[in-house]
């Protein structure tokens, strides 16, 4: 059954998302929602567009709803807090039936519930491609008025990661191959990889824990954090502000730190698994830097979460090296083919 009008779609949204939320003084349904922030507000916008970020052939509507929000939650997490709300610009093609939209809402709402997010509203339009643009925000402690950010690393700092690198890249590769060959059973061989690509779990709780730790220890300007979305190869120079700072890092990714699916796949294909992990893409992991003397405390905090974490290496002047070798790769750019 096809939705008849904008009002029908809004009725579906209203079934999945409560209109009110403690962080909003005025909820959905007016020209504006009104929020009542109690501190600095981290804000981030991400697009999730058909054929640029996902394909309908292997993303279910649920996956699309989930991931389009997850990529934003991840950004807020990397500033050192959990999000409190979001708004959505949803461009549908008019081919999505009520069932499709319901599942989409369900995926988004399931993630939203995990973080108790307000959906403040948004806009609907019709075009020839699906396009989801979400702006999310999160309240920071007043003692963290800039959030955790990039570019605070110093020589000798520990470089660490929370989350799984390379797994989403393998998922993408497997899913794209399966489409090309029409070989759906391949997906079942690489379940963690496919799931990491389709339904990444954003690490905002981990981010907030690091933000709180920074405040507690007065390290607001000494703990760096970012979300790794374009692959570590591309994002690491951003975290280190390498162009300005001249900083690089010696990175070690050992065999035992690499997810078994990646190891197996790289073995079969004759690829260097560490390089595959390092180039990655869409990891939605958190990469951070901290003074060496605080690493043990941070490691202890990160060990309380179920997602793996890793000391990747040490920040130093000069280039980035991986397992002793210099690096050239530059990660992903939407506008370079």
Which spans of this chain sit near a copy of itself (rule: CB under 8 A)?
A: 3-9, 25-26, 29-37, 40-47, 49-53, 75-76, 78-79, 87-92, 94, 120-129, 131, 133, 135, 138, 140, 145-147, 149-150, 226-227, 333-336
Cβ burial of 173 (10 Å; 0-12, 13-18, 19+) is: middle
Based on CB atoms, which residue is closest to a copy of itself, 91 or 195? 91
Nearer to a copy of itself, 100 or 265 (CB): 100
CA 148-150-152 angle, 5° bins: 90
CB of 29 to a copy of itself, least distance (A): 8
In angstroms, the Cα distances linking 71 to 23, 198, 227 are 21, 11, 9
Report residue 150 as tokens. 């990039």
- Six-digit token pair at 146? 């800039």
- Which residue, 240 or 273, is less far from a copy of itself as judged by CB? 240
CB of 5 vs a copy of itself, minimal distance in Å: 5
Both tokens of 216, joined, read 């507690």
**CA 4/CA 329 separation, integer angstroms:** 48
C-alpha 68/C-alpha 73 separation (Å) is: 9
User: In angstroms, what is the minimal distance from the CB of 7 to a copy of itself?
Assistant: 8
Is 242 within 8 Å of 327 (Cβ atoms)? no
Shortest distance (Å) from residue 316 CB to a copy of itself:
23
Considering beta carbons, is residue 151 or 264 the nearer one to a copy of itself?
Answer: 151
Cβ-contact 161, 309 below 8 angstroms: yes
Smaller CB separation from a copy of itself, 47 or 264: 47
CB of 186 to a copy of itself, least distance (A): 28
Please compute Rg for the chain using Cα positions: 20
Residue 29 or 326 having the CB closest to a copy of itself = 29
Q: How far is the CB of 17 from a copy of itself (least distance, A)?
A: 14
Cα-to-chain-centroid distance, residue 123 = 23
């Amino acid at each position: 059954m096809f939705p008849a009008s904008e009002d029908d779609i809004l009725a579906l949204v209203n079934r999945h998302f409560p209109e009110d939320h403690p962080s909003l003084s005025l909820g959905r349904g007016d020209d504006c929602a009104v929020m009542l922030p109690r501190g600095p507000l981290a804000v981030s916008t991400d697009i999730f567009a058909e054929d640029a970020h996902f394909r309908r052939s292997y993303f279910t509507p649920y996956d699309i709803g989930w991931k389009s929000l997850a990529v934003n939650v991840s950004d807020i997490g990397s500033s050192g807090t959990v999000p409190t709300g979001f708004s959505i610009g949803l461009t549908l093609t008019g081919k999505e039936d009520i069932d499709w939209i319901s599942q989409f809402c369900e995926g988004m709402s399931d993630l939203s519930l995990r973080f108790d997010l307000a959906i403040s509203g948004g806009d609907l339009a019709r075009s020839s491609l699906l396009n989801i643009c979400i702006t999310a925000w999160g309240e920071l402690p007043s003692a963290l008025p800039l959030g955790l950010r990039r570019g605070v690393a110093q020589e000798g700092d520990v470089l660490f990661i929370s989350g799984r690198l390379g797994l989403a890249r393998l998922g993408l590769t497997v899913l794209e191959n399966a489409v090309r060959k029409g070989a759906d059973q391949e997906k079942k061989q690489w379940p963690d990889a496919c799931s990491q690509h389709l339904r990444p779990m954003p690490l905002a709780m981990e981010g907030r824990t690091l933000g709180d730790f920074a405040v507690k220890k007065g390290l607001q300007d000494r703990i760096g954090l970012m979300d790794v979305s374009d692959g570590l190869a591309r994002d690491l120079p951003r975290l280190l502000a390498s162009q300005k700072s001249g900083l690089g890092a010696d990175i070690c990714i050992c065999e035992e730190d690499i997810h078994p699916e990646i190891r197996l796949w790289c073995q079969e294909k004759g690829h260097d698994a560490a390089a595959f992990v390092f180039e990655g893409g869409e990891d939605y992991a958190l990469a951070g830097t901290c003074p060496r003397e605080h690493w043990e405390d941070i490691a202890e905090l990160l060990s309380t979460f179920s997602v793996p974490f890793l000391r990747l290496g040490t920040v130093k002047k000069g280039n980035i090296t991986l397992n002793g070798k210099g690096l050239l790769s530059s990660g992903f750019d939407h506008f370079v083919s």
